[in-house]
Amino acid sequence: MTKLCLAPVEEAWRMGAVAVGATIYFGAPESNRQIVEVAKAFERAHELGMATIFGVILVTQL
């Protein structure tokens, strides 16, 4: 699973968005990278006064 960024935080803010959201697939090989990227994006969103929405999906291998 790879992360798809539809718009940078600044672009969303310029377009009038009041919030940004992200989902991390915990347990997926790229989840560590996703955590870092989402944290940076959310930090920027908060600097701009935007709300953030976070989703979690657990990925397990049976």
| pLDDT attached to residue 1 | 53
CB atoms within 10 A of CB 27: 11
Where in the chain are the domains?
9-58
What type of residue is 16? G
| pLDDT attached to residue 7 | 74
Can you give 1-62 as a three-state secondary structure string?
CCCCCCCCHHHHHHCCCCEEEEEEEECCCCHHHHHHHHHHHHHHHHHCCCEEEEEEEECCCC
Stated pTM of the model: 0.80
| Low-confidence stretches of the chain (pLDDT beneath 50) | 62
